Amino acid sequence: MSWELVEHLRARFPEVEPFPRGEPSPAEEPTAHKHDAAKAPVHHVPGAVVPAGRLAEICRVVRDEAPFLLDYCSFVTGVDRPETGQIEVVYHLFSMTARHGLLLKVRVPRDNPRVPSVSGIWSAANWHEREAYDLFGIAFDGHPDLRRIMMTDDWVGHPLRKDYVYEDPRWLVDLVAQRQREAEGLGPGERADPGLS
């Protein structure tokens, strides 16, 4: 759709790293069960990896200057990659006038994920950054109101990180096990305790 846009971006900022385009998989492949995990990922969205230090500057340019004119921020989110020790901060930008989109990615260390906030550039990023802060623990420097948005203020941990595991409380595990035992040997529609409706 707009891979030319990525070329323009690289011409302007040589340090950005465009996504490898790769070859889209042929139609019969999903039925073949043969996916090579070592194969390079296919990027269906045009975009580039951007150094964290240049993010604010690049964002200002892609919003204001032709040919980008990306005046709309669709979302900001994160992808946790424990195997590389990094978190990818993902920005999807779109132009309401030119009708093209661009995905920007910033790679930051997992133990101290920190990027400049773009909420001053696109107001829409405000809540999306709060969500990424809440669920991934990414700190957005310069954000006007960086609080948790989904979880309660006293929540511990960041649920969308890969090493965050939710465990049911003991009483719930026991209750489920007990119900399971009660239900064993019953036919369809039969109840362990007929008194309960």
Partner 1 sequence: MALRTEELMLNMGPQHPSTHGVLRLLVTLDGENIVNARPYIGYLHSSVEKMMEHRTYLQNVALVDRGLDYLTALANEEAYLLAVERLGGIEVPPRARWIRTLMLELQRISSHLVWLGTWGNDIGATTVFLYCFRERERLLDLFEQATGGRLHYVYFRPGGVYKDLPAGWTDRVLEFCDEFPGHLQEYGELLTGNPIFLARVQGVGVLPKDAAINMGACGPVARASGISFDVRKAFPYEAYGEVEFDVPTQEAGDCFARYLVRMEEMRQSVRIVRQAIARMPDGEIRAKVPVAVKLPRGEIYARTESPRGDLGVYLVSEGADRPYRLKVRAPSFANLYALSEMMRGWKVADIIAILGTADIVLSDVDR
In the complex, the residues that contact partner 1 under the rule CB under 8 A are 22, 24-27, 29-31, 33, 35-37, 39-45, 71-75, 77, 79-80, 90, 92, 96, 99, 101, 103, 122-124, 126-127, 135, 148-152, 159-160, 164, 166
Using the minimum distance from each CB to partner 1, give the nearer residue, 52 or 79.
Answer: 79
The DSSP call for residue 20 is: P
Using the minimum distance from each CB to partner 1, give the nearer residue, 9 or 136.
Answer: 136
Collapse the DSSP code of 26 into the 3-class scheme (helix H, G, I; strand E, B; otherwise coil) and give the result.
Answer: coil
Distance CA 94, CA 107 (A): 21
Using the minimum distance from each CB to partner 1, give the nearer residue, 40 or 176.
Answer: 40
Q: How far is the CB of 195 from partner 1 (least distance, A)?
A: 31
Q: What is the 3-state secondary structure (H, E, C) of 70-95?
A: CCEEEEEEEEEEHHHCEEEEEEEEEC
Q: How far is the CB of 89 from partner 1 (least distance, A)?
A: 12
Q: How far is the CB of 191 from partner 1 (least distance, A)?
A: 25
Read off the tokens for 105. 């990615």
Using the minimum distance from each CB to partner 1, give the nearer residue, 64 or 182.
Answer: 64
Q: How far is the CB of 194 from partner 1 (least distance, A)?
A: 30
Distance CA 40, CA 18 (A): 14
Distance CA 79, CA 71 (A): 24
Which element (helix H / strand E) includes 136? helix 125-136
